[in-house]
Every structure is written in structure tokens, then in C-alpha cells.
Amino acid sequence: MRNVLIVLSGPSGVGKGTIAKLLVERNKNLSLSISCTTRNPRDGEVDGREYFFITKDEFRKKIENDGFLEYSDHFENFYGTPKDFVLAKLKNNDVLLEIDVNGGLEVKKSYKDAVLIMVAPPSIEEVRNRLIKRNTETLEKINLRMERIGYELEKSDLYDYTVVNDKLDEAVENIEKIINQEKNKCK
């Protein structure tokens, strides 16, 4: 069985963070990658756990040194997947990236065996409700994110799989089946 690089994407509020957490808890060989970001930590977030929080200058230097598998900007901050960190982890583990759709497509360009999985909401209203409940964003920011949802879901066609997060347990199980199937493929 090979170790696989799994990319999990989907609109904000679709529940992909919860799914990623459960996948990692339930599958000992699966390790969550940690992205770099220039945004400030939210309450309860720890440097080196949720993200590596770095300055814009540090981020620029890392871009110059080809240090990212992909990177992009959202809402005036940069986010990127550290290349060395992921490739080192892949030697011993399956690795899960929780990144946006453009990032996922970029990863596939440089790492063609990456498995791209889109998590889709059962309905758009459901996403809005989840974001409001999460209470970490202003309404203005939520509206910006809502605009992006249509765009992200349109790109599902370019992904290897789409999993609808209607019932959390079922979504997690479906993703586990995909991972096992991919691990058993000879490449």
C-alpha cells in the first residue's frame, strides 16, 4: 500500500474542518498538514497546531525559495502549503491537506498522485447557517465567503471525487473508503 496525499476542499462552513479532524482521529496513519498563513491567530488557535503563523516578509521569502507546494491569498492574507513539511510527512504517513480549490488544483500540477476530494454542502443555506453559528466572522465577511461558494463548487468537475456532507458520519466513512481504495491502487 502506498502513502497518499489527500486534498480536502470545499466552501467555508461546509464542515471540512470537522471532517478533517475526525479523519485524523480515526486513522492513525493519516496526518494533517499544517499550512503557513499571514493572518492573525483566532482565539484558541496555537502556532504550529492550526497554522504556522508567519509575517508577510517571511512568507515572501519562502515563495522566493520555492518553499510552497501552492499558495494563495484570501481576504488580504496569504496561505500556503509548506513543501518540505508535506514531503517529509509523506515518507511515513498519508497526509491530508485542507486547502481551497485553486490550491488543490495547483498541488495536483506539481504532485500528480494527489487525490482531490471536494466536500459539498447539501444546500447553500446550510453553509450560511453554519458560518453564523460558528460566530468567528462578521456578517460582511460571511457574505464575501458566500459569494465564493458558487465559484468553488463549479470547480468540483476538476476534482477526483465529490462527497456531500449531509450526515457527518456518512461523509467521513465515504472519504475513508476513497482513501483506502486509493492506497491500494498500484501507481
- Return the number of the residue (12 or 165) whose C-beta is nearest ligand 5GP: 12
Helix (H), strand (E) at residue 97: strand 94-98
Pairing of strands 77-82, 35-37: antiparallel
**Angstrom distance (rounded) from CA 54 to CA 88:** 20
Smallest distance from ligand 5GP to CB 72, Å? 4
**Angstrom distance (rounded) from CA 74 to CA 185:** 35
Site for ligand 5GP in 6-25 (CB under 6 A): 12
Residue in 80, 121, 153, 172 binding ligand 5GP, rule: CB under 6 A: 80
**Angstrom distance (rounded) from CA 33 to CA 51:** 9
Smallest distance from ligand 5GP to CB 79, Å? 4
Residue in 27, 29, 72, 174 binding ligand 5GP, rule: CB under 6 A: 72
108, three cell numbers: 495536483
- Return the number of the residue (100 or 182) whose C-beta is nearest ligand 5GP: 100
